[in-house]
Amino acid sequence: MSFSNKKIQQGLEEFVASTQQIPYSPVAFEKGRGAILFDHDGKRYIDFLSSASSSNLGHGNEEIAKAVYEQMLNLTQYTLAYFNTSAPIELAKKLCEITPIKGEKKVLFSTTGSASIDASIKLARAYTKRSKIISMIGAYHGSTYGAITASALSLNMRRKIGPLLPDFYHFRYPDKNNSWQDCIKDIRDAFSMYLPPEEVAAILIEPISGDMGLVDPPREWLVALREICDEYGIVLVCDEIQLALSRTGKWFALENFGVEADLYVMGKSVGGGLPLGAVIGRKDIMESLDAPAHLFTMAANATVCVAGLKNLEIMERMDTNKLSVEKGDYLKKKFEVLREKFDFIGDIRGYGLSIGVDIIDPQTGEKNPNATAKICYECFKRGLILIFLNQATLRVQPPLVIEYEEMDEAMNILEGVMNDYSNGKIGDEVLSEIKGW
Ligand SMILES: Cc1ncc(COP(=O)(O)O)c(C=O)c1O
């Protein structure tokens, strides 16, 4: 049976529940190498998304594929819920080594990032013997009940599915409209009026607010949150699912700010392309739950962990932290050159190869969702996978192995698209096809 993009799209609409996908373009990928993808119609693309920042080493990595093949032949998996295999233990040790917590640490595995957010909520509640959880407006933490309750980014993540978990409180994340001082004041005011701090188990943050548009907070906000946590015995949980493992030029994004969390939550890239989530944290907190309060038959099985180990080995060997910074600087400069030419490019920000670029209305400086959607739509057509967040921020997160020539090629595509957009050559009809968040 031969597949085409169209046939696969029809299959999606007929057989897959619509909540499974945020639609951007009816493209179906067939194969990939590094930062290059091919769809089922044979069209080539440069990937600026890395499968939502989950393929940091790019596509079709032969070393990982070989390690997975050998492990599957030997023993595909045996559940860690009852017995040991060596790979999860080795991976846990390695993750403890790279996690920037002073003192003893331990790891708790899950099958996804979302489930690991739930793990962090359970751990914080068990350790503190308190129930209340603070998270931020604009956060995306995932789809399980704990993670979705902590999120506050989309009404569709609330509608029809309630009641959600009790005792969650959302506060403002600092951005250009909200100073870090005001954001901290909100929490301190709440602590004096309606939210007893001695009942708060955790403050859950994204070190850079990913799906809200890669908004990086001032360091002072993170320092102040750390101080609040220390003052009241609250667990500081850092969601690193999108940004850990070199995406921002460090193993963990929070390291860019010189602040230490108590629990770090990982997902996406940690499994080297296979499904895995993990919480790495202070040993005393990690020891506060008893089995089986958080175990999954398939979590951290031998094959997934072999992929995760090989992924880390390759990253260390390639020095992906350094690569991420160098390539990120290169791309940011290219965007700055484009901004000289196009007045609808607003703020350009980011760490390493995680860059947010705002598309604005040059008259008002406000975000311009229609322009952004048109630009992304046209990029797909011309062979560049580039999506937007929060209506008007381009999400630039290519695989860390992207070649310089590929970045040049991608930026040439983008410049051509922006030229056509500014000359009114991209019609409004495309807006009915591209939806996004
Ligand atoms: C910051 C952040 N947290 C949590 C999640 C949820 O991870 P998963 O989809 O692996 O469950 C995501 C996924 O997009 C994310 O970006």
Q: Which residue pairs, CB below 8 angstroms and at least 24 apart, start in 24-31? A: 24/376, 24/380, 24/387, 24/434, 24/435, 24/436, 25/377, 25/380, 25/433, 25/434, 27/380, 28/3, 30/3, 31/59, 31/60
Compute the distance from residue 353 Cα to the ligand 1 centre, in Å. Answer: 18
Q: Which atom of ligand 1 is nearest to the CA of 267?
A: 10
Site to substitute for ligand 1 among 144, 241, 252, most atoms within 8 A of C-beta: 241
Q: Is 394 helix (H, G, I), strand (E, B) or coil?
A: strand
Ligand 1 centroid, distance to 211 Cα (angstroms) = 9
CA 422 to centroid of ligand 1, rounded, Å: 34
Q: Determine the atom of ligand 1 nearest the C-alpha atom of 211.
A: 16
Query: How far is 75 from 262, CA to CA, in rounded Å?
Result: 35
* 213 Cα to the center of ligand 1, angstroms: 14
**What structural domains does the chain harbor?**
5-60+319-432 (3.90.1150.10), 75-318 (3.40.640.10)
Around ligand 1, the residues with Cβ closer than 6 Å are: 52, 112-114, 140-142, 206, 210-211, 239, 241-242, 267-268
Ligand 1 closest atom vs CA 210: 1
Q: Rounded to a whole number, what is the distance in angstroms from the first to the last CA of the chain? A: 33
Atom of ligand 1 nearest to the CA of 275: 10
Q: Nearest residue CA, atom 13 of ligand 1?
A: 142
The angle that helices 302-318 and 62-75 make with each other, rounded to 10 degrees, is 150
Which pLDDT does position 1 carry in this prediction?
61
Per-residue pLDDT of the chain (437 residues; tens, 9 = 90+): 679 999 999 999 999 999 999 999 999 999 999 999 999 999 999 999 999 999 999 999 999 999 999 999 999 999 999 999 999 999 999 999 999 999 999 999 999 999 999 999 999 999 999 999 999 999 999 999 999 999 999 999 999 999 999 999 999 999 999 999 999 999 999 999 999 999 999 999 999 999 999 999 999 999 999 999 999 999 999 999 999 999 999 999 999 999 999 999 999 999 999 999 999 999 999 999 999 999 999 999 999 999 999 999 999 999 999 999 999 999 999 999 999 999 999 999 999 999 999 999 999 999 999 999 999 999 999 999 999 999 999 999 999 999 999 999 999 999 999 999 999 999 998 888 887 87
206 CA closest ligand 1 atom index? 1
* pTM for this prediction: 0.98
CA distances from 184 to 221, 226, 253, 420 (A): 7, 11, 21, 44
